[in-house]
Amino acid sequence: MSGAAGAATPARRRLPRTLVIGLVVVGVIALLAALGPWIAPHDPDAFAMRMRLRPPSLAHPFGTDEFGRDVLSRVLAGAHYSLLMGFGATAISLAIGVPLGLLAALHRGWVEEVVMRGVDLMISLPPVLLGLLILAVTEPGLFKTILAVGLVYVPIMTRLARAVALELLAEDFVEAARARGEGAWHILAREIMPNAWPPLIVETALRITFAILLGSALSFLGLGPQPPASEWGLMIAESRPFIAEAPWIGLAPGLCLCLLLITVNVVGEGLRDLLDPRLRGRGHG
């Protein structure tokens, strides 16, 4: 129904404050991660057995671990693992999943069937298990972990891309394009993608949180970067025998991980509020 001209414009609102704060914090963490090795007060790998298991102090703000290594330095040095896992794995799942989903949506028929059955199959394994499976039989390491986590999340991205594309393909303006005889490529690039990226961006941002979680969980189980790397999940795992006497060894990387996850989550939610408020409340593992 027609009404007064000038309805609210969704894409031109001011950025929500939470989004800005979140982006700033993530930016700071990323900066610290990049500069880590240079700004760390001590060598993260240096053993100093006489200084082992010291509680937090001015010289060692996060204390020292069982080998006398400065925990703060190790945390700084290990920051990049979490960020790489989160962003790298998500990038992989995006790069593989979105084209697959779009392919399935555009070429209904046997291509779609094959892709979607494959997706269903992969989804029938819980994520951690799929990651375990892939990593169990190879030499673990950072890149294999990133690859494994990325592969685990391909099905979800495929499903989303396909759903978004199907919804858009049913719109009148796409039919108008077909009435002009536009080819599949034009429709994809000019009609579908410009309208598809908001929900995809939102999902990607939320996915980064889960990628970091899964990556650190796998590292915790010993299937990520190997010692002496100071990946945060691994650090937490290594801190277990000393929980009673030196809880800071596990708490420091843990709290930093929580901080990272909360802020990435806030950024994701902020993006969603900005780009597509209809998706509010929807989130999945």
Partner 1 sequence: MAGFLLRRLGSLAFVLWAMTVLVFAIVHLLPGSVAHMILGEYATNEAIAVLEAKLGLNDPLPVQYWRWFSGLLGGDFGQSLTMERPAGPVILEALGRSAVLAGVSIVLVAVIGVSLGIHSAVHKGSATDRALTLGQYFFIAVPEFFWCILVILFFAVWLGWLPATGYTPIADGGVTGWAKHLVLPVSTLVLGLIAHVSRLTRSSMLEAIESRYVLAARAKGLPERLVLRRHALPNALLPTITVLAVDIGILIGGIVVVESVFAYPGLGRMLVYAIDNQDLPLMMGGMIVITAVYALANLAADILYAVLNPRIRVGGTAA
Partner 2 sequence: MAEAPPLLDVRGLSLGYATARGTVRALDGVTLAIPRGAAMGLVGESGSGKSSVVLALLGLLGKEAALAADRLDFAGEDLRVAAPRLRGLRIGTVFQDPAAALNPALRIGLQVAEPLVQHRGLSPRAAHGRAVELLAEMGIPRAAAVAQAYPHQLSGGMKQRAVIATALACEPELLLLDEPTTALDVTVEAQILDLLERLRAERGVSMLLVSHNLGIVDRLCDGLTVLYAGRVVESGATEALLATPRHPYTRGLLAALPRADRGRIGRLAPIPGSLPDLTLPDPGCNFRPRCPFAAAGCEAPQALHPVDARHLACHRAEMLHDAAWPAPDAAVADRAPLGGTLLEVADLARSFRLGRGLFRRQAEVRAVDGVSFSLRRGEVLGLVGESGCGKSTLGRLVLRLIAADRGSIRFDGASVPAMPPDGFRRRAQIVFQNPDTSLNPRQTVDVALRRPLERFGLAHGAAATREVERLLDLVRLTPAYRPRYPHQMSGGEKQRIGIARALASRPDFLVCDEAVSALDVSVQAAVLNLLEDLRDTLGVAYLFISHDIGVVSHIADRIAVMYRGAIVEEGPAAAVLAPPYHPYTGALLSAVPVVGARGRAAARTRLKGDVSSAPTEGGCRFAHRCPAERGTVCRTQAPPVQQAGPGHAIACHIPVAELARAPAALAVAE
Contact assessment for residue 153 and residue 215, using Cβ atoms and an 8 Å cutoff = no
User: Which amino acid is located at 256 in the chain?
Assistant: C
Subset of 138-177 contacting partner 2 (CB under 8 A) = 171-173, 175-176
User: Which amino acid is located at 28 in the chain?
Assistant: V
Contact mark string toward partner 2, 3..22, x via CB under 8 A? xxxxxxxx------------
Residue number, 6 or 285, with CB nearest to partner 2: 6
The yes or no reply on residue 107 touching partner 2 (CB under 8 A) is no
Between the CA of residue 272 and those of 76, 109, 151, what are the distances in Å? 30, 32, 24
The yes or no reply on residue 225 touching partner 1 (CB under 8 A) is no
Residue number, 110 or 173, with CB nearest to partner 2: 173
The yes or no reply on residue 277 touching partner 1 (CB under 8 A) is no
Which listed option, partner 2, partner 1, none, makes contact with residue 222 (CB within 5 to 8 Å by class)?
partner 1
Size of interface with partner 1, in residues (CB under 8 A): 47
The yes or no reply on residue 120 touching partner 2 (CB under 8 A) is no
Torsion sign over Cα 6, 11, 15, 19: positive
Angle between helices 127-136 and 193-220 (to 10 degrees): 60
- Spatial separation of the C-alpha atoms in residues 85 and 64, rounded to whole Å: 26
* DSSP, res 278: G
Subset of 49-108 contacting partner 1 (CB under 8 A) = none
Residue number, 7 or 137, with CB nearest to partner 2: 7
The yes or no reply on residue 20 touching partner 1 (CB under 8 A) is no
DSSP 37-57: HHH-SS-TT---GGGTTPPP-
Q: Cβ 112 to partner 2, closest distance in Å?
A: 15
DSSP 149-202: HHHHHHHHHHHHHHHHHHHHHTSHHHHHHHHTT--HHHIIIIIIHHHHHHHHHH
- Spatial separation of the C-alpha atoms in residues 236 and 248, rounded to whole Å: 10
Residue number, 51 or 156, with CB nearest to partner 1: 156
Subset of 174-203 contacting partner 2 (CB under 8 A) = 175-176, 178-182, 190-191, 194-195
The yes or no reply on residue 258 touching partner 1 (CB under 8 A) is yes
Which listed option, partner 2, partner 1, none, makes contact with residue 225 (CB within 5 to 8 Å by class)?
none
Among 41, 126, 194, 227, binds partner 1 (CB under 8 A): 126
The yes or no reply on residue 278 touching partner 2 (CB under 8 A) is no
Find the length of the chain.
Answer: 285
**Which positions touch partner 2 (CB under 8 A)?**
1-10, 171-173, 175-176, 178-182, 190-191, 194-195
